[in-house]
Structure 1
């Protein structure tokens, strides 16, 4: 595929043709099925994919090999297989081979079943999507089939409210001029409707099923790609070539709105469609603790090898000295030398000590993860009763990472907001009307029309009464403006008016005007008809001055039935107020009202009008007509004329529209901030809308300094200059550490960043731009050698990330799904932070897959986000409980579980090493084989299991009251290499005490029953270690339940039960080689001397822990909770005012203007393209 897209609109140029390598022939399945493309050496595959999608990872044939391959990426599993292979050699085996094979098989089976269950869910969701109904042209008629049956080149019929199943060229529709209205909220997050229009030739020629069946046009376009907002190609039909662009294409995932029927030619299907190209791949996610455990396994294995090697070398020296001392036993050693014995003992010790990495720990971990996931599923505080949607943990292996999140990347539309716009307040002629007393929607007298339920608007009773009195001329003009100045289309369905609005803001205003008695009835190409308190009036539309993002306003020039010409204008306060004829008391009150509306984070628009004389209109109209037919600079000339007309306005008032947030969104974000979690909003919506929502959800505050793209560039330039001066002439600094030379580059709570997708592209592709010698966006960054371009690009990335992460809030607007994922990847790459992404639509899938934790909002229109997520929630507000309660508890429980498990393993089994020093380094086991097998499974696992399942340091309520407690997980304080080292030393100390006190006791003394034998010694050491471990776990447990007591009791009962069974005389008689400790526990533990030794060992092992606990309680540092209280009391007020690096805009008052609209609708109306014939009156 060519590196650069051909210029749209110039398809006939010969230089563009090679770029169009994707050829689609209408109604020619055979061609697309036979087409192949090379992908490796001489191999080829189908060029055109089917429309079926597959997010599942396995099938019947690939499940076993792929799942095993993934599982053996865990170092522990590789280690266990290695030890099992060693056990198959009888010369070196000290334990039966099946002692590890059975638990390893159980572990692989449990994880495999979990992965299988997860994948079955993905198969079901894939089947649900692929089985959606559609209508495909087959022969000369449309047949009802499934999405999966669609092929490239097919013609598909879509009906109103249906989703687009593939990327299609719009051929024609039931709307005038073959317009088609689509909602792209699931793709780019924008809620306003967008229009697409078919080519004139297909609109005119393809009016019947027979003509479509005979259609044999060929589309040549670019190869499948991820660029959502661009498309370039041509349609060749009947010897003519027609240019195609993105305005002619319907993308998969769009929803058909306000259009009864449309027809499309499939260009890209399935995974070739643009939205699927933006979805990314499913990757197995590992938690930070998982990765740490992999490294610890390597460390423990190396320690084990070093220990085994030392003991093996010692065994060689001991064997040689023993043979020299006892030469009369030479016949016993005639077949082995000391070196051979050392070699065999090395592997024997490796097998004997292999239980230091207990497989049961991994099995227990899986169970803990599973149960903690059930706790999330069962939490009624995260149950959304309105739609009967509970929280769901779709992944069961990431719970602990929920307690370590540092950055949350959130979508806006459908995640923070409800996608509902409602007219809330207004200020007219200096009077503010608010919701105050809510009045039911009554039928304005004489309107003679009923309203659809969706259109009902609640308004202030005072405003309704004032409108019906009709005594205020300014209010009358204000309501007329609402009913006249818009691009809404209307359809009269008998006794019901149905509005078709491209903008939810405009729909809310027109509905409010209708509720107040000014009903928009109909429009034609040059007229608009409204009902004013029951009186029908038709206005002649002389001109529509269209909205765009630069003008931030739209106007309509109309002639009323009396012949008076008036201009009605609505737009941002920043542009309307500076175009007023004068300022008076009414204008001052309106400005104060705008301040109040902004404080309530409502979306504001100012309304103004003026009367235009006939002479002025005739002169302006003549120049306007001349400008509309210009071939060059048409847009610039029209903007100049619009500017000229929109002067000397009279302010009528201002409106305030509420973009409804989901419940408790601001409170949730504030709570997350207190937990040191930074929230970034990534949206495809416009900047004004994103900023307005930022203020509404308290992500942005009035005292924040906003850094926009200009200021960010200046800060990055200052950083580059300072580092360049330190590191050399024009080269990247040798150190990757960024030393910001400017004090304002440090972390400020009062700073926020707002950037666009285009600016982000400059950051992300800085290295590529340098390498390709394209236009360089950073003039202060010199172009270096090609080899250093990537290094310089990475430096720009890191500088930006350091700046962004030092700010309290970041908002990225106009970003594509791929850019969302790249932002997440950027933070993960440069900050090594744990990230969470949350969204509800297909445009969030890639971001959700890229983040360490992906959360899907369920219950809304799209299911793609939930299908690819790790956790599904019904509301954004449930995130606070998921992280601050379940996440923090899970991290606490897993960390404490790992500490306890490693401690009990080292404390109980390291005695094998000390015993080697007293058994001639012969790799002889100290303990009974059954004790080794059952120690980690039954004797000590249940108390640590209760810790992993139920441990709490504070209650759920306190966790939410003190979100600062969450920072412990972010800082890895509960389990790290230092904690592991301390646990290792603690366990080694316990094992030393247990072994040598027993050895000292058995060395020169015997009890009343002469229990000085090896078996009794083994039992004494085992019981001492076991009880010491249980007491230590009891002391370390903070949250006790009946289950906790039961677990400790069950452990002791299991020890007694299995000791009786495995050490019985009957068992010894049946299999003396397997049950080789007959009556050992009964002989030892009925002797008072042995019991005294056990008690002494227990006291010696417990005293250090009790001492540490007492020391911390008396003279140690205050607890986290105490620190939080002290911090709240001692937090000083900031002594200086924080200022941005570059000054913000010149406006003293923050504008809360936001308006969802797409440029071009006014042109459609004035050309008559969007008007049905029956709409005329």
Structure 2
């Protein structure tokens, strides 16, 4: 074989063995980098610190020898040490005189305090810069300060003028307040690059443009709404010209561009790139307005604004008239990172059998990439959208309009043919994900005004869509309005009959939250509108898994067990009276003492049931998160339903028969009286009910002990001779309990009765455990062996400095501050606005 190896080496067929030296300081990430260089099937998931050194061998297609020097970008204190080690390495005799490629790998660049490989631009020339922006495009800043590129200046001028941000000056520092953190971020970015929003009054905006202060007279503010998805401002420049600046969603802005608008293709390409990086985008545009057109339009706008009927429609028509023939100025992209633990939470909820639909106002590309990043979509899924989606939905209209006898027979519930239903149920196995946009969804959601066949077709189309979406493991609705979000939830409730939960953090989610069965609001930077309209409030999305899988599941178990055992103890007690009535001639004589009947529900058996309803835990919170499949018992109503109700009634009926007839048969040939019989049955009933409610927990054991102690204590007290002598008509059992409980025969009957009563339930539990071991038993076994759970909540390994919130667009979905700004109601003197002092409007309210 040595000869063949040499021959292969001479011919260049044999691959050379490559030696790559990976060096760096400790904790710089050398082992992680080597692990990533390996083939995917050879990579390890758990990276541990390397003690000493390690050698890894794996195949690679690259030839040659090299050095990888890893630098920890976040370890700024040891940069000097890293440089010294690198100098020592380069001066080593084995390396100094050799030509060897060296790769400098700057690791941990995603951390907050990491050093950048590019030197940031010095912005100290701008006295209004906040010092937080790390900007690296020096060429763009030079073009901006040279004042040669007017289009670039117009872009930043639009950012600093077209908004509803309020400003306050405190200790010489400008503080911005906005309805959306994204809008504040855009104004702050323009401020750091020289276009500083200084002040605002009712009808003016003051901006410092590269050190030159300019006052713009605001003639009209076309406010943002969820339907318009854009906002505009009409201003008069200091030179006297009229300008309209508009910003909004790309699809809205592109529809209103002039045919000869420049940079359209380049901007669309940039928007696609931003969407692939899951950035949230806005487009900015503007136009010059002629004086004559303005005078005509402002009169129309004033009439629409003062209209008493149809005001919104008239304003929308006036807005449409001026928001056209726009010139594209540019686009913005804002990074809105997912909160910590979102992928893990979604994966856990999916394991629990919860279907997750994403309703967002982001672009389709952005929404899809976010779906991949949060693990809602996976690489093995096929996206069902556009033409494929229409192909599945269109046959409903064709089949409904056809009167041919050969037409396929439709299902009455969904309108699908039998073959289509079979194909539909295969979608889940085929891993299809449905992605639909707002305009496509509007066609499905809109209801026909006619009461004839058109309306029937629309309802059938909606049924088919909901059935199709429910069959897919993932659904993403993008570019949807708040109204469409609410109507989607309404469709699911109407045609699926399931319990819906809506979660959101902004005003655009309020309608959806109020429409769902359960609304959850996330308190964050988008305001408190969602929280105020929700049933539950959480601080971060990852807390949803604990809300549902732990507290939600415990609550369901407690309520179901409380209802079951309360029904059992009450009905088993009541049926005894029925059986006794057959032997007392259906008279008013009771099977128990009057005081026992009074205290049976209030004291003797209430504490175990209440303890179970308040503190019951079948498994720990760790186990609930570790095994989310346990949540499915609530979805299938396994703990309470018609079947459980019937079984509970039969169990109570059987228990009452045993409680009555065993003591009755035992006392029938003896000389014991009615009072002894009543005490015996009562004692057996208390022991049986408390034993049935027994669970292996300290609170439950204490509650049972308390119930038994109260029973014997109160029984002896109520059967005393003194009470009988004082109130003979109320206390009719003097000394009955003392005489009965002294008799061993009575205790034998109680023991026999309780044992026979418990046999059916114990047998049923044993058979259920042996024949059908559910997940619960496996979790109990795992807990007994020591379940390896590191924390109560699942956490991602990637740590971020501050969790951010998501919203549909780069500004708030609620109506903006335009009306308040135009009316002056938001410019109180308590705000200390610079413009109020300058223009003398500080007293306006």
1:671 aligns to what?
348
Give, in whole Å, the separation in 1 of the partners of 2:489 and 2:179.
32
* Residue pair 1:439, 1:458 contacting (<8 A) in 2 also: no
Q: Does 1:1108 align with 2:764?
A: yes
Give, in whole Å, the separation in 2 of the partners of 1:1105 and 1:930.
29
2:665 aligns to what?
1000
Give, in whole Å, the separation in 2 of the partners of 1:745 and 1:1055.
61
1:1031 aligns to what?
691
Give, in whole Å, the separation in 2 of the partners of 1:964 and 1:468.
54
Give, in whole Å, the separation in 1 of the partners of 2:616 and 2:683.
26
Gaps of 5+ in 1: 1-431, 533-539, 558-566, 578-590, 608-620, 647-651, 772-782, 1127-1152, 1159-1171
2:128 aligns to what?
450
1:575-614 aligned at under 5 Å gives the runs: 575=269, 594=273, 601-603=278-280
Could you tell me which of 417, 424, 437 is aligned with 1:745?
424
Could you tell me which of 618, 626, 629 is aligned with 1:953?
618
Give, in whole Å, the separation in 2 of the partners of 1:694 and 1:892.
33
Q: Does 1:804 align with 2:469?
A: yes
1:337 aligns to what?
none
Give, in whole Å, the separation in 2 of the partners of 1:864 and 1:948.
33
Q: Does 1:459 align with 2:134?
A: yes
Q: CA deviation at 1:745?
A: 2.9
DSSP-derived class of the 2:356 partner: strand
Could you tell me which of 1016, 1022, 1026 is aligned with 2:682?
1022
CA RMSD of aligned residues (A): 5.7
Give, in whole Å, the separation in 1 of the partners of 2:607 and 2:367.
51
Q: CA deviation at 1:793?
A: 4.2
1:1090 aligns to what?
746
Give, in whole Å, the separation in 2 of the partners of 1:1081 and 1:550.
85
DSSP-derived class of the 2:693 partner: helix
What per-residue deviation string (whole Å, max 9, x for no partner) do you get for residues 406-434 of structure 1?
xxxxxxxxxxxxxxxxxxxxxxxxxx997
Q: CA deviation at 1:555?
A: 13
Q: CA deviation at 1:956?
A: 1.0
Q: CA deviation at 1:936?
A: 1.5
| Distance of aligned partners of 1:846 and 1:1125 in 2 relative to their CA distance in 1, 3 Å threshold | farther
Give, in whole Å, the separation in 1 of the partners of 2:573 and 2:187.
77
| Distance of aligned partners of 1:1125 and 1:479 in 2 relative to their CA distance in 1, 3 Å threshold | farther
Gaps of 5+ in 2: 1-107, 212-238, 298-319, 783-807, 814-834, 840-845
2:501 aligns to what?
836
* Residue pair 1:856, 1:865 contacting (<8 A) in 2 also: yes
| Distance of aligned partners of 1:573 and 1:973 in 2 relative to their CA distance in 1, 3 Å threshold | farther
What per-residue deviation string (whole Å, max 9, x for no partner) do you get for residues 630-658 of structure 1?
x9xxx99x999979xx9xxxxx9x98631
2:334 aligns to what?
657
* Residue pair 1:1063, 1:1078 contacting (<8 A) in 2 also: yes
DSSP-derived class of the 1:754 partner: strand
| Distance of aligned partners of 1:726 and 1:898 in 2 relative to their CA distance in 1, 3 Å threshold | farther
Q: CA deviation at 1:770?
A: 3.0
* Residue pair 2:414, 2:460 contacting (<8 A) in 1 also: no
Give, in whole Å, the separation in 2 of the partners of 1:701 and 1:573.
29
Give, in whole Å, the separation in 1 of the partners of 2:439 and 2:283.
29
Q: CA deviation at 1:871?
A: 2.5
Q: CA deviation at 1:1061?
A: 2.3
Could you tell me which of 1039, 1048, 1053 is aligned with 2:709?
1053
1:1111-1126 aligned at under 5 Å gives the runs: 1111-1120=767-776, 1122=778
DSSP-derived class of the 2:394 partner: helix
Give, in whole Å, the separation in 1 of the partners of 2:168 and 2:644.
73
After TM superposition, the structure 1 stretch with the greater mean CA deviation from structure 2, 851-860 or 492-501, is: 492-501
Give, in whole Å, the separation in 1 of the partners of 2:667 and 2:809.
85
Give, in whole Å, the separation in 1 of the partners of 2:739 and 2:398.
81
2:582 aligns to what?
917
Q: CA deviation at 1:906?
A: 2.6
2:546 aligns to what?
881
TM-score, with structure 2 as normaliser: 0.59
What per-residue deviation string (whole Å, max 9, x for no partner) do you get for residues 1015-1044 of structure 1?
11121122122212222222xx24x02x22
Could you tell me which of 450, 453, 456 is aligned with 1:770?
450
What per-residue deviation string (whole Å, max 9, x for no partner) do you get for residues 106-128 of structure 1?
xxxxxxxxxxxxxxxxxxxxxxx
TM-score, with structure 1 as normaliser: 0.44
* Residue pair 1:602, 1:696 contacting (<8 A) in 2 also: no
Give, in whole Å, the separation in 2 of the partners of 1:811 and 1:1098.
59
2:160 aligns to what?
488
* Residue pair 2:256, 2:325 contacting (<8 A) in 1 also: no
What per-residue deviation string (whole Å, max 9, x for no partner) do you get for residues 1128-1171 of structure 1?
xxxxxxxxxxxxxxxxxxxxxxxxx986699xxxxxxxxxxxxx
Q: Does 1:987 align with 2:666?
A: no
1:184 aligns to what?
none
Could you tell me which of 746, 756, 759 is aligned with 2:438?
756
Q: CA deviation at 1:445?
A: 6.1
Give, in whole Å, the separation in 2 of the partners of 1:872 and 1:503.
20
Give, in whole Å, the separation in 1 of the partners of 2:257 and 2:444.
38
| Distance of aligned partners of 1:906 and 1:447 in 2 relative to their CA distance in 1, 3 Å threshold | same
| Distance of aligned partners of 1:1057 and 1:492 in 2 relative to their CA distance in 1, 3 Å threshold | closer
Could you tell me which of 918, 925, 939 is aligned with 2:604?
939
Q: CA deviation at 1:877?
A: 3.1
| Distance of aligned partners of 1:667 and 1:545 in 2 relative to their CA distance in 1, 3 Å threshold | same
* Residue pair 2:414, 2:463 contacting (<8 A) in 1 also: no
Q: CA deviation at 1:874?
A: 3.3
Give, in whole Å, the separation in 2 of the partners of 1:572 and 1:1013.
101
* Residue pair 1:482, 1:510 contacting (<8 A) in 2 also: no
Give, in whole Å, the separation in 2 of the partners of 1:764 and 1:950.
47
| Distance of aligned partners of 1:508 and 1:435 in 2 relative to their CA distance in 1, 3 Å threshold | farther
| Distance of aligned partners of 1:729 and 1:598 in 2 relative to their CA distance in 1, 3 Å threshold | same
| Distance of aligned partners of 1:656 and 1:756 in 2 relative to their CA distance in 1, 3 Å threshold | closer
* Residue pair 2:688, 2:754 contacting (<8 A) in 1 also: yes
DSSP-derived class of the 2:550 partner: helix
1:354-393 aligned at under 5 Å gives the runs: none
| Distance of aligned partners of 1:954 and 1:498 in 2 relative to their CA distance in 1, 3 Å threshold | closer
Q: CA deviation at 1:732?
A: 10
1:815 aligns to what?
481
| Distance of aligned partners of 1:1120 and 1:481 in 2 relative to their CA distance in 1, 3 Å threshold | farther
1:150-165 aligned at under 5 Å gives the runs: none
Q: CA deviation at 1:909?
A: 2.8
DSSP-derived class of the 1:753 partner: strand
* Residue pair 2:572, 2:652 contacting (<8 A) in 1 also: yes
DSSP-derived class of the 2:583 partner: coil
1:377 aligns to what?
none
Q: CA deviation at 1:962?
A: 1.9
Q: CA deviation at 1:824?
A: 2.8
Q: CA deviation at 1:954?
A: 1.4
Q: CA deviation at 1:975?
A: 0.7
1:714-729 aligned at under 5 Å gives the runs: 714-721=391-398
Q: CA deviation at 1:836?
A: 2.3
DSSP-derived class of the 2:477 partner: strand
Q: Does 1:963 align with 2:628?
A: yes
DSSP-derived class of the 1:854 partner: strand
What per-residue deviation string (whole Å, max 9, x for no partner) do you get for residues 552-595 of structure 1?
679999xxxxxxxxx98488765459xxxxxxxxxxxxx9xx5x
